[in-house]
A and B are shown apart, each in its own frame.
Chain A
């Protein structure tokens, strides 16, 4: 009988605690990040030029530089980043669950993702578009040469699948999607001849081509079938944190516009130009305080990471992946890279 009595009382206690535990305190990502001393950043499992780890585990790439910029702004040290490599399939769940605080993994900004699954896109760090790669021996010169029964290799969990469905439907051509879980298998299968064409973002095609057995046997078709604005993502509902990531990105790009880079920033500190003063965070500017950051937040970004042009050159141009900046040139230089003013 004693056991039953004990169980009844335990049950009552459980009921009380279960009911009382409904409200959990909301914590700010900015405060947690400052306290833990590093930025939790989700990156790809290896896409040269965007986020790729070398043999020593050092991450480089233009997506990685976004994380480094956030770490420099918040903690004053661009190396204080904990990278989590994620597959296309895992990335949003990892962000929703709080395993990472910034997702910077060549992720396309779409309405569905922004509105329906609890994500907030803060900007664009690379303007991309979906393209097709074919064997040059096939004689295919344009997407108009695709005929019924075209086999298309790609990987799952991306907007690629939707774009190609739309594209082939509009073209009135039947096709067979051969969809793999990981990019490496896609490349192997396409390389073996399983598919007539391989489709993904054009930057991805350029990066993956370097992994083929004979890269020169493949060409990327000139057409771009979709808009793929790639950019960093944060969880919805934490506006302060979203602002920090958004403006770290914006100041990184605007620094290029005003010619501020990692080597000349120290001399720029005394600049008389008010726009440059705001970018470098000179005495008397209030941008840092508005974001709940240190006065030198933007100085740290530009000093440690460099501006957008430096990142692009280091990661995409010098590596031969995308030597031409194309749409990613500044709006003043014929591209579409245009950010709101840092003021």
Chain B
């Protein structure tokens, strides 16, 4: 007993002399306990699965997928591997999220501003739009738009034809495919023009700082962009030709080949995601604009700034600070909501990988963890980008 209390005493003295240990040891313990719990459960799971004759591991990713995918941004065929099927699903998720985020932002800003309009009719219409679309569950909206799109489009025998080269029917919208020659010159042109605009902006800002003279940046940038790109197109002999969709009819099967087809599932999904999320973005925008004190605008007007300058230099930068964090959440929501695609046959990562591939291989734990990690990575990337953008726009204290 004596020895024990002596050693305990020694430990106490040692800990008192090393305050860092008292701070870090509990945290270290918590992490250790967590790791042990997690590894205990995963070990248990793998032992149980081995006992039931279930194969585990990620080697299946190299196996032949032997199923086909309706819509893919990269070449895919049933001889490709599960890993490539995963990539196809991921790209389709990114595509629909990207389109959704773009349109949700545009519609959201537009509706948010109209909602604040002094014109009562306009503002009420915007309000009705917001209240309707944000209060109906998204899955229902997706089903509604999907079957609405299907019922609206004509059958494949009587396609809707626009300008003789766009064909729309229930099986998709077919547009001409662009075929570029010397495409690399166009990319060079783009890079050079953006660089030139950047340099021009830098010098015009310097000039304004030194002399106070303002250069019309927007118009000049546009001119630089157009002129440089035109020059490159002419010098590089960049050519563009179109291959038009051509109708092939074989006993009741009408198929357009040659063009690019946009499947109705993509249209319906992108449409419903944009409409739904735009209502939330509209409210963020309204909050942002209302959040700016009236005195700011009055003060700006009193020092002689024009109306557009007030908007550009005073209102928008301050409003963005309020708008960006909640809008980031909406972007994350939209990306995650895109997983509802499986309900209407849009081949996103959930349908292709966590659906078909999971079923064919039976590797539930592996596939679901890969899919979860993918969404986590997507969400974190969006949030990192938006945080960077937010920091760029936030108040810098000097």
- Contact yes or no, A88 B264, CB < 8 A: no
Most chain A CB neighbours (cut-off 10 Å) among B40, B49, B359: B359
Q: Is the CB of A89 within 8 A of B355?
A: yes
Cβ 8 A contact of B342, one of A3, A156, A178? A156
Answer yes or no: B377 CB below 8 A from chain A CBs: no
Tell me which residues across on chain B come within 8 A of A118, comparing CB atoms: 49, 52-54, 362
Provide the residues of chain A in CB contact with B156, threshold 8 Å.
193
| Contact segment of A146-154, A222-230, A305-313, A334-342 | A146-154
Proximity bits, A45-86, B CB within 8 Å = 1, else 0: 000000000000000000000000000000000000000000
Q: Does A162 contact B (CB under 8 A)?
A: yes
Is there a chain A Cβ closer than 8 Å to B243's Cβ?
A: no
- Jot down 28 A-B pairs with beta carbons below 8 A, ordered by A: A1-B15, A1-B22, A8-B29, A14-B36, A88-B359, A89-B358, A115-B53, A116-B361, A116-B362, A138-B252, A140-B251, A145-B250, A145-B252, A148-B255, A149-B253, A150-B253, A156-B351, A156-B355, A157-B358, A164-B68, A177-B69, A180-B343, A180-B344, A182-B343, A189-B150, A193-B155, A193-B170, A235-B52
Q: What string of 1s and 0s marks CB contacts (under 8 Å) between A1-44 and chain B?
A: 10111011001001100100010000000000000000000000
Query: How does the 8 Å CB contact mask read for B8-47 relative to A, with 1 for contact and 0 for none?
Result: 1000100100000010011001001100100010000001
Closest chain-B Cβ to A200's Cβ sits at a distance in Å of 14
A181 interface neighbour in B40, B70, B355, Cβ under 8 Å: B355
B7 at the interface (CB under 8 A from A): no
Partner of A11, one of B15, B33, B70: B33
Complex contact B78–A169 (CB within 8 A): yes
Question: Given A8-B29, A164-B68, 15 other A-B contacts at CB below 8 A?
Answer: A4-B26, A89-B359, A96-B54, A117-B55, A118-B52, A151-B171, A156-B359, A161-B68, A162-B360, A177-B69, A179-B351, A179-B355, A180-B344, A194-B171, A237-B52
A113 sits at the interface (CB 8 A): yes
Q: Which residue of B lies closest to A11 (CB)?
A: B29
Contact B355 A157 (CB under 8 A): yes
The answer to whether B12 touches A1, judged by C-beta atoms less than 8 angstroms apart, is yes
Residues of A within 8 A of B257 (CB): 148-149
Contact between A14 and B33 (Cβ–Cβ < 8 Å)? yes
Select from chain B the residue with minimum beta-carbon distance to A1. B12
Q: How large is the interface on B (under 10, 10 to 19, 20 to 34, 35 or more residues)?
A: 35 or more
Contact B150 A192 (CB under 8 A): yes
Whether, in the assembled complex, A166 has its beta carbon less than 8 Å from a beta carbon of chain B, the answer is yes
B369: Cβ under 8 A from any A Cβ: no
The 6 closest A-B pairs by CB, nearest first: A149-B255, A138-B252, A117-B362, A147-B250, A118-B54, A157-B359
Q: Chain A nearest CB: distance from B29 CB in Å?
A: 6
Write the nearest CB–CB distance from A154 to chain B, whole angstroms. 9
Closest to A195 in B: B171
* Chain A residues, Cβ within 8 Å of B25: 4
Contact of A165 among B54, B78, B147 (CB under 8 A): B78
Chain B residues, Cβ within 8 Å of A161: 67-68, 356, 360
Chain B residue with Cβ nearest A197: B253
Interface: A217 (CB within 8 A): no
Does A188 sit within 8 A of B, measured CB to CB?
yes
- Within the assembled complex, what's the spacing in Å between the Cα atoms of A146 and B251? 9
List of B residues within 8 angstroms of A146 by Cβ: 253
B206 at the interface (CB under 8 A from A): no
Q: Are A237 and B51 in contact (CB under 8 A)?
A: yes
Q: Does A241 contact B (CB under 8 A)?
A: no
CA distance A168 to B78 in the complex (A): 11
